[in-house]
Chains A and B, each alone.
Chain A
Amino acid sequence: MMISGVTKRISAIKFAQLSPDEIRKMSATKIITADTYDDDGFPIDMGLMDPHLGVIEPGLRCKTCGKKVDECPGHFGHIDLAMPVIHVGYVKEIKKLLQSTCRSCGKLLLTGEQAAEYLKQRDRMEELGGDTLDTATVHKEAAKDAASRTTCPHCTTVQLKITLDKPTTFREEGHKLTPKEVRERLERIPNEDMIALGMDPNVSRPEWMILTALPVPPVTVRPSITLESGDRSEDDVTHKLVDVLRINQRLRENRDAGAPQLIVEDLWELLQYHVTTYFDNQTSGIPPARHRSGRPLKTLVQRLKGKEGRFRSNLSGKRVNFSARTVISPDPMLSINEVGVPEAAARELTVPIRVTEKNLAVAREMASRGPAPPGPIYKAGVNYVIRSDGRRIKITDKNAATVSEGVEAGYIVERHLMDGDIVLFNRQPSLHRMSIMAHEVRVMPHRTFRFNLCVCPPYNADFDGDEMNLHVLQSEEARAEAKVLMRVQEHILSPRFGGPVIGGIHDHITGAFLLTHEDSKFTREETLRIMEKIPLLDMPKAGTKVDGVDYWGGKQLFSLILPKDLHMTFKSSICQRCDECKKEACEHDSFVVIRGGELIAGTIDEKAIGAFKGRILDKLSRDYGPDTARLFIDRSTKMAIGAIMVRGFTTGIDDEDIPDQAKREIDDAMTQARMKVEEHVSAYRRGELEQMPGRSLEETLEVEIMKVLGKARDTAGQIAGRHLGMENSAVIMARCGARGSMLNLSQMAGAIGQQAVRGERLSRGYWNRTLPHFKKGDLGSEARGFIKNSYKSGLTPTEYFFHSMGGREGLVDTAVRTSRSGYMQRRLINALEDLKVMQDGSVRNTAGTIIQLEYGEDGIDPTRSVQGEAVDVDDIILSVLGDKGELIAKVREKGVVSYGIQDRDLLETPEEPEAEEEPEFDASGGEEG
């Protein structure tokens, strides 16, 4: 029993080897027979299932300790090996020891002074804060130094070269050393010489690395399972031990009967093989031992190693209670802080309530509702009541009334989830801290988890079948901590780039655009529809009156949800980057001016409310706090969705329609480009092509051709673009940043353009050509992967083939990238997981050594930074000087500022590597059917 309230700190852990004596001493029984059960199904004494090794069958008692199934921890047995064998796990150490000690007297091949010098170096290292890894390098050097001596400084014996034949055979100048000989040599090494080699003679002797006795693990770690048919199926480890025992037996018989040396040696090697694979069945250089079915056996090392091994899957990570997993779906009516939980899940997940005098009545009433309270409105019931003595009572509809009456102070009542409960919500892969955030529960009908769309970006979630996990917190402390540190609203700003990660996407942005672009206005009915879902907003006075009808302006409506003292000036996503910005008078309405919480000019789009780029979100959460920012996001979601629903919005393939005239123009442009390429090619063939500096003639030609074809695609895009105006839904989405890009559109309506593999035109496939449809050595545009068609007009068969070649590269890239970045992330986490920022601002590890004297060298929390900067000087100038400050801010923007701000451009566009460009199916596959 653990004594509660007493905490102890482990100061050190020392590892040592088991000596053969210890193995025999701790053994409950010696194992001599390879048979496990007799004909009646009883375990055979001194067999691998000997009842002294522990119990696995309920009802029986252990023959060693007398306890029952879950009480007996199991007991080790042992096998006495007929001949010694090498332990694979120690071959490296054995080799080191053999090489650095004398073959005749066994002493270390260093003089006393030399050994002492190494020890002194090690002590110095320890003094200067070196860890075991550092000291190990000193010992390694000592061993290397000793191994390089050719004669023994003590007895002057000439040393022979020792080599290791993987995995377990040692040779001395070609002559094979048996494990027995190796053991004899190791026995000769004196205790005091081991210290310089980094071994502690008080706990281990080197000869113990050669096994003479093998511990047999308790049956509890290798239980046999009985199949329905009544047959018994043994654990892989038991199978392997049977092999060891069988060969051990035969080896002993043959040796004792004086069989020929050759036969004994063969059996000895076979025993070595079985013992080796018993430890590690993936030892390189030998075939893995297999099950009868051909499946390789899972032996000791395989149980521990890798992702499915004991460490990563049972010790670092565990399965937990009070959790749920289901498909996710969107709900714009929820706050970003909320999560919709299906009733069915809410009735399984419980929160423990400690009953006191104060909440006794509430607790009793809740318990009386039973595990499934009826009624159209969801009410939390109770699944279990835990009495003061720790007994757990399951509540059923029948006993609810009586049990609830018995509830007293000191009981614990496990009630169902209720609205407002704090839970953790998570989507894998959990790559950053925003992958697990705290939400408030909203119990809802149906079977999915639901949340606000603005929270999709931090989880990287979409609704094509994604599932997410939910964990219910069980203590008041955990709930308080989660609410303060992990609530969604506390994570609007990302620590990665100091900007918002939570914000509008897709329709949310389109809706805001439609609401605020130019002088959009809405009738009374429309206005009410837009505003009805937003509580606590009063209907404002109509903005304009046309022909006696009242109209409300979109900008006016949007201003309702802005704080009354907000001042901002920025350019929106739709800005065309005109040569000279006309500011408020911009003909595209792309210059946003907010004064005193009124949107005076400009369009609200991705730059204002989008995730990653939303300037308003950034400003609100930084200057007004997370509460204001959350409120704004919640209201803007509803308002934008309201606006898009009033206006109506759709897109389809006809958004890419262009007039026949334009199609002909594109065709002409393509023909011209093709001819131009041919000109270049013939110039090259005639030898008239002018070579570019630093490039070969072939490279010059490629560059010229790529230039022509690149321009051709742009031209096609421009021609198509002339017919794709702001009245086009697809264009609206691309320009306001909701979805898609103008490049996507020009590939759909204009031309797809050149396909490339490794940044070059396609060239591989057949000998000197890409496909047999072309002449050998054809360098023309069609033969090398140029697609003159658009996605809409459709591809020719050869174009389709080239497009697949280009697409394949993308697929391979993603597959390689995800697996590699996953591995890198794992290694980074392992290296950094125990670092923390101390009170003095330094970053240290658990040993207290300095990693950074000042966190991030400037002591700034990137989450509180302004796009990575400690202070946003422009913003301060503007807020002090008002519009007059703009001139100064302008000068700074031009960029003669300090080091650090130079990289501002990099920070300003914290673009995710366009997740959508990636194919929706990845190599790991599996998900979403």
Chain B
Amino acid sequence: MPEHHLLSEKEAEKILKDLKLTKDQLPKIRISDPCIRALDAISGPVEEGMVVKIVRRSRTSGVSTSYRLVVRG
């Protein structure tokens, strides 16, 4: 399972600013996703509209970072 990190409101804002993105342009992840449920137990509470940082090992680039917006469902 790739690493999931919960971002604070401030961190999320900074990253979105750096990437010149708005929240609605981010890929989504459901709040019911097992990863989010686990994250909720570890560093929660996770709420709709929060941003998680996902770090995964990549075949092409070694390590890659992506961000997802937590949505309902």
Interface of A toward B, CB cutoff 8 Å: 121, 124-125, 127-130, 134, 137, 840, 844, 848-854, 856-858, 860, 868, 898-900, 903
Contacts and interface: CB of A to CB of B under 8 A. Distances in A.
B59 A900 contact: yes
A849 B60 contact: no
B60 A860 contact: yes
Interface in B14-69: 19-28, 48-49, 57-62, 64-67, 69
A134 B28 CA distance: 11
29 contacts: A124-B48, A128-B23, A128-B49, A128-B71, A129-B25, A129-B26, A130-B28, A130-B71, A134-B73, A137-B73, A844-B25, A848-B25, A849-B24, A849-B25, A849-B26, A849-B27, A850-B21, A853-B67, A854-B61, A857-B60, A857-B64, A858-B58, A858-B60, A858-B61, A898-B62, A899-B57, A900-B59, A900-B60, A900-B61
A50 B65 CA distance: 67
A897 to B, nearest CB: 11
Given A127-B24, A129-B69, 9 more contacts: A128-B71, A850-B25, A850-B27, A852-B66, A853-B65, A857-B58, A858-B60, A868-B60, A900-B62
B23 A129 contact: yes
Given A849-B25, A853-B66, A853-B67, A125 B72 contact: yes
Contacts of A860: 60
Contact of B61 (A844, A850, A857): A857
Contact of A129 (B24, B61, B73): B24
Contacts of A137: 73
Contacts of B57: 899
Contacts of B19: 853
B19 to A, nearest CB: 7
A852 B68 CA distance: 11
A899 B62 contact: yes
Contacts of B20: 840
Contacts of B23: 128-129
Contacts of A900: 58-62
A654 to B, nearest CB: 49
Nearest to B73: A137
Contacts of B48: 124, 128
A128 B62 contact: no
Contacts of B21: 850
Contacts of B66: 852-853
A899 B21 CA distance: 30
A851 B59 contact: no
A836 to B, nearest CB: 15
Nearest to A847: B25
Nearest to A127: B24
B64 A854 contact: yes
A134 B72 CA distance: 10
Nearest to B23: A128
B48 to A, nearest CB: 7
Contacts of A851: 27
A40 to B, nearest CB: 66
A129 B27 CA distance: 9
Q: Specify which of A129, A844, A856, A858 lies most central, judged by the most chain B CB atoms within 10 Å of its CB.
A: A129
Contacts of A868: 60
Contacts of A852: 66
Nearest to A849: B25
A852 B62 CA distance: 15
A903 B59 contact: yes
B25 A856 contact: no
A464 B8 CA distance: 65
B15 to A, nearest CB: 10
B14 to A, nearest CB: 15
Q: Which 7 A-B pairs have the closest CB atoms?
A: A129-B24, A858-B61, A857-B64, A858-B60, A857-B58, A857-B61, A849-B25
A511 B64 CA distance: 47
A522 to B, nearest CB: 47
A142 B60 CA distance: 44
Contacts of A857: 58, 60-61, 64
A843 B21 CA distance: 13
Contacts of A850: 21, 25-27
Contacts of A125: 71-72
Nearest to B49: A128
A259 to B, nearest CB: 54
Contacts of A848: 25
A851 B21 CA distance: 13
A472 to B, nearest CB: 39
